[in-house]
Structure 1
């Protein structure tokens, strides 16, 4: 797809692992600053349930600042939990962009965003899955005691289909409502 906002919906294969990548316009989305493009990647290996051990823990400036390095090598050094958190945040950001287009404003409550999107462009089933993703993201961010590798693995293993469903429904929405012109971007960032 060649839409400038969602052109990062790509699927690649790198080193026999499935890669899911989502681009978005970063935290500067509310300001309409298109220079700040982030890349979020997560790799899966279904055959190894203990694959968490393969990831090095990286506590450098990228993780501390909440920014995602554009270099795949550096990104691979981030802890897996942070990668998952960042992917869920990308879903939230894209949902907020769609809400702003369809509802002409900013929502104060994230649940309102999902409710309105289920009326306009996303299935109610998917909106419920996104709500659960947000709950899991909160577990990751706050490091609750219930956080363990099994919980994270199960959320990745079963939740990745939800990410793909989200990508497909957003792509369908873009096609259905003909959001492939720059007017969509202009309407997103009008104040």
Structure 2
């Protein structure tokens, strides 16, 4: 649940950037990656490193490719520097399409993840890999799906606690 909460906090910031807050301009970070997500002492996520950031009144394609290898916009999947693809998108897409996306999930949390939560998370993650920005979900759409994944996870956790409490009362307290 904590990982989903962190994703939700980051998506909230990205939604704020995309929506342009109270202005007509949007913030395009251009280097979102785990190293640029800071976790505070209370585990609240903060987005950092605005070195490649661009503030614009329109979202458009850029000729200059900026960002970190493996994390650049999927528009640049076919851009080749020294024989290397600049994103992880082809590998991620292949795993999802072959039904093997769960192989990329951290082994230490696999048993804790509720299937409905994982499938909701994976579906929105896969949509984010679309080749063009028009095909990708907005940050708001991502945020809605992440909250739904968290709801599935929390519902399952609450149900399990209820059953454990009921079982304890029935078998132990008698």
Structure 1 length normalisation: TM-score? 0.36
Structure 2 length normalisation: TM-score? 0.39
